[in-house]
Amino acid sequence: MYGSSLRYLRCVRCGNELELETLEAKNEIVEGVLTCKICRTEYPIISSIPILIEDLSLYFSIRMKLGGYLLLQAKSKTVQSIIKKSLQQIKKIGDDTTDLEKRWVGIYKNSENSSLESKIKNTIRKLPKSNFVIEHGCSIGITSEILAKHNGWVFGIDKSFFALVEAKKRKIGNSDFFLADSLLPPFGDKKFELVVALNVLELIEPLDLLKILNQQSARFIVLSDPYDYEREKNSVKIKLDEKSLRTKLTKMGFKFLQHTGKPSFIPWKLNVNPRLDLNYKVDLILVEKFNDSS
């Protein structure tokens, strides 16, 4: 985390400003603690990644392996204490997703330079420069890197620690990455000229996410999704398809740009392993806000 990001961060529990205790720093903050000035909630920074989660025990309840890993990674007793306390307060342990999240890091790394990536790059290039951009579900930073080349400052958020570690390895100078929930973003009421959320509608409740994107957007939103809702118990409750998604965006006061008012079917191939590929057809949407309705 860069020290300059502190001015934009807010407590995800009460929305107030955070103060920073730096425990290790090089060209950025490697380890430390962010503490809310009002409610005193503590958020650890480990391996340069701030973990801005409201309920860390709940987060670790399906990531026990990650909790153990972070406990070993933490160098200071202060951060170790935060992790240890969160692990001790877990009420119910669910199926561990740590290995799955690590596996998807490898899949995304092996699937770069796709047709979808090229289309998104061309879409972003045609937009005017934005001073501040936020990307929800930034994963390993593929799109964040594209965004950073054409804009001012890029903030990426994701719930996968290992994906964010890969994103940091890209060493994108005008970007910073945070482990956070898109429905509880750590930026308070800050507005972004460009808001991006690619292929996350099956992972985050679509109506709730659209509400957040609308609140954050000062002008443009870029969305994409293959509408892959076949996830059984892990699927979202309300599923939006290409038609209902466009209807919702229109009612929110957005207009469609670059001919994205009609559904698209952009190829996106994910290389799962040498014998298995996933071939999606992704719908891409670009909208611009033209009034303040919500």
- For 27-54, write each residue's pLDDT tens digit: 999 999 999 999 999 999 999 999 999 9
DSSP per position, 134-202: EEET-TTSHHHHHHHHHSSEEEEEES-HHHHHHHHHT--TTEEEEEE-TTS-TTTT--EEEEEEES-TT
Note the pTM of the prediction, 2 decimals: 0.94
CA distance 222 to 206: 14
Q: Could you give the domains of the chain?
A: 3-96 (no CATH), 103-289 (3.40.50.150)
Contact between 33 and 11 under an 8 Å Cβ cutoff? The reply is: no
Q: What is the pLDDT of residue 180?
A: 98
User: Are β-strands 29-36 and 18-25 bridged in parallel, bridged antiparallel, or unpaired?
Assistant: antiparallel
Query: SS3 for 285?
Result: strand
**What's the confidence (pLDDT) of residue 213?**
98
Mean pLDDT of 52-57: 97
Do β-strands 217-225 and 276-289 pair in parallel, antiparallel, or remain unpaired? antiparallel
Mean pLDDT, rounded, for 50-62: 97
pLDDT at 113: 87
> In terms of DSSP H, where are the helices of 205-241?
206-216
Condensed to tens digits (0 to 9), the pLDDT of residues 135-185 reads: 999 999 999 999 999 999 999 999 999 999 999 999 999 999 999 999 999
Looking at the predicted structure, is the pLDDT value of residue 264 above 80? yes
d(CA 217, CA 293): 12
How many Cα atoms occupy the beta-carbon half-sphere of 102 within 13 Å? 8
CA dist., res. 135 & res. 7, Å (int): 18
Q: Give residue-wise pLDDT tens across range 202-242.
A: 999 999 999 999 999 999 999 999 999 987 667 889 999 99
Tokens representing 59 are 């987060």
Question: At residue 252, does pLDDT exceed 60?
Answer: yes
Residue 291 has pLDDT above 80, yes or no: no
Residue 293 pLDDT level (bands cut at 50, 70, 90): very low
Q: Which of 195, 226, 227, 224 is nearest to 285 (CA)?
A: 224
Which pLDDT belongs to residue 259? 95
**The pair of three-digit structure tokens given for residue 278, joined into one six-digit string:** 């996933």
Report the relative pairing of strands 254-256 and 217-225 from DSSP bridges. unpaired
Q: Is the dihedral of CA 185, 221, 265, 270 positive or negative?
A: negative
Q: How far apart are CA 225 and CA 208, in angstroms?
A: 16
